[in-house]
Amino acid sequence: MEKRKLRDLEVSAVGFGAMGFSHGYGPAPEKNEAIKLMRQAFDLGCTFFDTAEGYGNGENERLVGEALKPIRNQVVLATKFRVSNEEAHSKEQLEKSIRNHIEASLKRLGTDYIDLYYQHRINKDIPVEDIAYVMGKLIKEGIILGWGQSQSTVDEIRRAHAVTPLTAIQSEYSIMERMFERDVIPLCKELRIGFVPFSPLASGFLSGKVSVDTHYVGDDVRRVITRFDKENIHANQPLLDLITSFAEEKGATPAQISLAWMLHKKDFIVPIPGSRKIERIKENLGAAKVILTKEEFEQIELQLAKIKIHGNRTDEDIAKLRFKK
């Protein structure tokens, strides 16, 4: 598979988001099946795997660590941490707290270093400069090779980057959610920071397989993401018609066109779709081989400009899932 650079980290052009193996999308596959799927993704050319301490309360890190153990030095492993106000009453306490987080992640992952360590959302009460300073120390010690932020603003990126250069920004980005095109992605280009889209297929909406009759249960976030409201599924049909039309012309799938579109955008963009079936994994990774011509890309952009997107995905909506029966 084509390789790309997240600053100094070389990764496959399409990565793998492992969250769904633990929570977020309804019943997860059995452990051995999940491990098998991640190893198959590697065999298909994927060398970039993403997890977080918060996915399944640490269980996702354990799962990813076990899956990647035989190939640890052949892959780039990313995980994430969160720090609360209670953990940051002073700079000294903040550093101690972050070190506690990373030591726990290293143990769960079964490794002695992490390639890419993200702050999993910005805590507005903790200066990003203080976080960046600790990341710099961890990099010097070889505990992490690079660091990043998630869903951060231009101001937060600039301030943190001035202390310790950022490797990547991981934020939501897809044909259905393009808010970071205005300022964050251009800034990443300026500062040579990689951009890693999560939900690059809009939580599966862009697969073209969602219908008003699809029923979601349990901890499936699609129960509260508004683009999956029945009226919005109907309203967004013009978008699906567009990508389906291009998919038919290219001998590809709607999901592959959606990923190929963002891969064409910038060479430092590396999406991390997640899937729990080998057919979908092959499809997603295969998007790296779907090359849009300049004319095809411009035609997609022209048509997208005429389409209004209905519904979105927000952290606030997802938080409502805890209270949903």
Which residues form the catalytic set?
Answer: 55
Long-range contacts made by residues 231-235, C-beta under 8 angstroms, separation at least 24? 231/310, 232/310, 232/311, 235/308, 235/310, 235/311
Cα(200)–Cα(188) distance, integer angstroms: 18
Place of tokens 């598979």: 1
Instruction: Judge residue 197's burial from the number of C-beta atoms within 10 Å of its C-beta, 0-12 exposed, 13-18 middle, 19 or more buried.
Output: buried
What span, in angstroms and rounded, lies between the C-alpha atoms of 148 and 140?
16
Structure tokens at 10: 């070389």
At 48, which helix (H) or strand (E)? strand 48-50
| Spatial CA neighbour of 199 closest among 97, 311, 101 | 311
Residue type, 3: K
Region at 311 (left for phi over 0; alpha for psi -120 to 50; beta for the rest): left
Q: Distance from CA of residue 2 to its chain's centroid?
A: 18
User: What Cα–Cα distance (Å) separates residue 231 from each residue in 25, 204, 217, 259, 322?
Assistant: 21, 17, 19, 25, 23
* Alpha helix ranges (H) inside the chain: 31-43, 59-68, 91-109, 128-140, 154-163, 184-191, 230-235, 237-250, 254-265, 278-286, 294-304, 315-319
147 within 8 A of 166, measured Cβ to Cβ: yes
